[in-house]
Amino acid sequence: MSDLLPFRAVAPDVCVAPQLQPSAMAEAARAGFRSVINNRPDFEEGPLQPTNASIEAAARDAGLEYRFLPVQGTYQSPEEIAAFARLLAELPRPILAFCRSGARSTRLVMYAANLP
């Protein structure tokens, strides 16, 4: 783990991180991740936050699978949880999910694990 890629494991082959920069995508690939899920809506914190498009381009350039599933920080709907569970089932592992602090991505992992 580096300052550029501050992640922590929350499930086998699934890690979460706070907001990542496009430059972190190459580091994620070097760390062995195969997929990245961005759970943070664009411009949630204003214009200085990197956009989904810029992170996706860097992830694809690094050879990573990338998905954008923006969810609000305070509420994750049953539909969003189900969509996240599908991503966990479909994407190559290990997976790195991120949001502003890592908390909502962590909740999504936990909620998805409890789906029937």
pLDDT of residue 2: 67
Q: What angle do CA 5, 68, 47 make, to 5 degrees?
A: 70
The CATH number covering residue 44 comes to 3.90.190.10
- Within a domain: residue 64? yes
pLDDT digits (tens, 9 = 90+) for 107-116: 999 999 988 7
Q: What angle do CA 18, 24, 27 make, to 5 degrees?
A: 120
- Within a domain: residue 1? no
The number of folded domains in the chain is 1
> Tokens 């580096």 — which residue?
2
- Within a domain: residue 2? no
**Model confidence at 1: pLDDT above 60:** no
pLDDT digits (tens, 9 = 90+) for 71-109: 999 899 999 999 999 999 999 999 999 999 999 999 999
